[in-house]
Amino acid sequence: MTHDAIWFKLSFENIGIDKTNQINREAARSMAKIEILRLLKALNLKRPESINDLLDMIHGALSIIRESYFEFKIANRYFKVRILSSLAFTI
């Protein structure tokens, strides 16, 4: 988190908020694609083709990354995530 915060601050100071946000969004999209493929491989799942496949993937992902402050529920074609607390908001 520290690196991300410093990167964002320095980018903002050097190129402005609009360009910084654009680069940040592009980086997040690129990273998400890579992380999804890693998750599918780790969970031994195929690319989701249905809502049930997607929910299986989400359930598996959340069971890997879930911490005590992070609560989730999946039932009947929907999922609910509740963050009980966050380190990012307590520091």
Structure tokens at 20: 């910084």
pLDDT (average), residues 14-36: 93
pLDDT: is 87 or 61 the higher one? Answer: 61
Assess whether pLDDT exceeds 50 at residue 91: no
Q: How far apart are CA 91 and CA 2, in angstroms?
A: 12
